[in-house]
Structure 1
Amino acid sequence: MTIEAGAVALAAGDWAVAIDPARGAAVTRLAFAGQDLLADEPAFWMIPWANRLDGGRLGRHRLPVNRPQDGTAIHGLSRDRPWQVAAQAPDSATLAQEVDAAPYRYAARLGIRVTPDAVTLDLAIVNLGEEALPFGAGWHPWFRRPPGTWLGFRATHRCRHDARTLPVAADLVRGLSGGEEAFLGLDTHFTGWDGAARIAWPGLALALEATGALATNLQVYAPRDRAVLCVEPCSHLPDAPNRPDLADLGPMRLLGPGEILTGRISMTAECSHLP
């Protein structure tokens, strides 16, 4: 995968990571032992909400509808705005962003650390506004999906959704475990996630562990027409402010002025075979 000009390139041990500040601090390369784990799509951040808000509705506020085909405001505000590099070393970097887009005014800080053992992404969001507002976050990686890809994780509920992938009900589950027969065609939200997921490709496996606000909900997207697998740690249910009957399965966090939302994602990898 080509690293674009201006990207922050980090490496340690078998890991190589690139972050593009101009593209919303997206991870544009994630490689282990010379093998790219991401498809040709940036792994972007969803801040201050993840996934969709129906009609852009957030209480009395209205956010810009940026997905007109289904009338939703999708994936937040941070991914379309540049970040600044606050600090950089060969194996670590800190990026920062301030957003002022009514009703939101917030600062986000992303710390990336690469060691021989793991890649760690630390996210913090502080409400700089003068009123309390619902906040959320998520990470949207586009992992490659060659034949033989396997995914496994534990969760308590799997959402049923309408044609716009907005949740309408939830069923009890134990999680998901299997190859394409288990996940192909999903654009599905899971709640009660325990923060751990494993993706295995022939000869390589990735363990993802989320903590803090990012460790409760998981969106899985595996379109039939593209060889990608999105496994997205999220802090809340899609459209949670407008789904009172389901919001307990993943509410957004009400942050008062100066309050902070934090979450961490850690990834380890090993050469392996399918489980």
Structure 2
Amino acid sequence: MVRIDAGGWDAVLAPQDGGGLTALRFRGQDILVPTPAGERLGGPFGAFWMIPWANRLDGGRLGAHRLPVNRVADGTAIHGLSRDRPWQVEHATPDRAVLAQSIVAGPYRYAARLEHGATGEGFALDLAVTNTGEAPLPFGAGWHPWFVRPPGTWLSFRAAMRFTHDARCLPVAAAPCTGLDGDEAAFLGLDTHFAGWDGVARMAWPGIGLTLAAEGALATNLQVYAPAERAVLCVEPSSHVPDAPNRPGPARHGPMRVLAPGEILTGRIILSAECSHLPKGGA
């Protein structure tokens, strides 16, 4: 495990578990649902990265290629390749950590770099993915956090389009929208994709407010998941629509990006928090 503890932020990274976060707190308050001891990321806790695609590919289809179907129940390849593979620690200090990964799997050859840092702006996550293969391929990325959802949670963001989806949560059609702005009545039960996102989402819980600001490839699309049976809220910046390679209609609102050999996909997420009151001893 790698720990960052600076600027009021306390984060625990798991390089061997897909480079994800097993915990994230601000001034002692949980932002992410803490990962239970001994559990691997992917359940309703922590946060993980989705690379080189986000969400689902129907049948694992990527043009002429077939990726392993790891969600057998709905016949999809879900959440990419990086989350199931370890990362190497290139740098680790109390306020900054850099992880690196090199992947050779199926048609993909890529190098990924993740930088996490507690800065004056907040808690920042920087991603860079380079196509190290010999042929152009579609690439994408996303971040899948499991935020806490105590009573009184509020979610607000702007977007231009909201998708309907089938029983497997694959996009069907998009309709104009303004985004979301409300409590659980507005988002409970969603597993829904939004396009034309302006890159900013705000969450509020009793005593604390969080702003998620995305840049680059991660600032265009957003997946929101709020299951009724679990007190979690997933607000997932993504670079493309789910199953974009197989759905040209929906993909107009967020295609994967074809990277030539040597080209790089980059994105940034900055989390900033404000407390209406500080824990005892807070400065």
TM-score range, shorter chain: over 0.9
For the residues of structure 1 that align with 2:202 and 2:24, how far apart are their CA atoms? Answer: 16
Matched, 1:12 2:16: no
CA apart distance, 1:248: 1.0
For the residues of structure 1 that align with 2:276 and 2:56, how far apart are their CA atoms? Answer: 36
Matching residue's letter, 2:183: G
Aligned residue runs from structure 1 range 168-179, under 5 A: 168-179=172-183
Aligned twin of 1:197:
201
1:231 aligned to which of 231, 235, 259: 235
Matched, 1:118 2:122: yes
2:192 aligned to which of 188, 192, 201: 188
Does structure 2 conserve the Cα–Cα contact (< 8 Å) formed by 1:165 and 1:187? yes
Matching residue's letter, 2:29: Q
Summarize deviations over 1:110-167 as a string: whole Å, max 9, x none. Answer: 0111125400000000001111000000000000101000000000000000000000
CA apart distance, 1:25: 0.6
1:169 counterpart SS class: strand
Aligned twin of 1:165:
169
Summarize deviations over 1:178-218 as a string: whole Å, max 9, x none. Answer: 00000000000000000000000011010000000000000
Summarize deviations over 1:11-64 as a string: whole Å, max 9, x none. Answer: 112111111101101011110110111113120000000000000000000000
Aligned twin of 2:133:
129
Matched, 1:85 2:79: no
Matching residue's letter, 2:261: P
For the residues of structure 1 that align with 2:120 and 2:246, how far apart are their CA atoms? Answer: 43
Does structure 1 conserve the Cα–Cα contact (< 8 Å) formed by 2:159 and 2:178? yes
Unpaired segments of 5 or more residues in structure 1? Answer: 1-6
For the residues of structure 1 that align with 2:15 and 2:248, how far apart are their CA atoms? Answer: 36
Aligned twin of 1:4:
none
1:214 counterpart SS class: coil
For the residues of structure 1 that align with 2:276 and 2:135, how far apart are their CA atoms? Answer: 50
Matching residue's letter, 2:224: V
2:73 counterpart SS class: coil
Does structure 2 conserve the Cα–Cα contact (< 8 Å) formed by 1:12 and 1:116? no
Matched, 1:27 2:21: yes
Unpaired segments of 5 or more residues in structure 2? Answer: 35-44, 278-283
CA apart distance, 1:246: 1.4
CA RMSD in angstroms, aligned pairs only: 0.9
Aligned twin of 2:225:
221
Matching residue's letter, 2:23: R
Does structure 2 conserve the Cα–Cα contact (< 8 Å) formed by 1:185 and 1:223? yes
Pairs aligned (count): 267
Aligned twin of 1:250:
254
Summarize deviations over 1:74-119 as a string: whole Å, max 9, x none. Answer: 0000000000001111100110000100200100000111125400
Matching residue's letter, 2:11: V
Find runs of 4+ consecutive structure 1 residues off by over 4 angstroms: none
Does structure 2 conserve the Cα–Cα contact (< 8 Å) formed by 1:14 and 1:116? no
**Which one is further off, 65-74 or 25-34?**
25-34
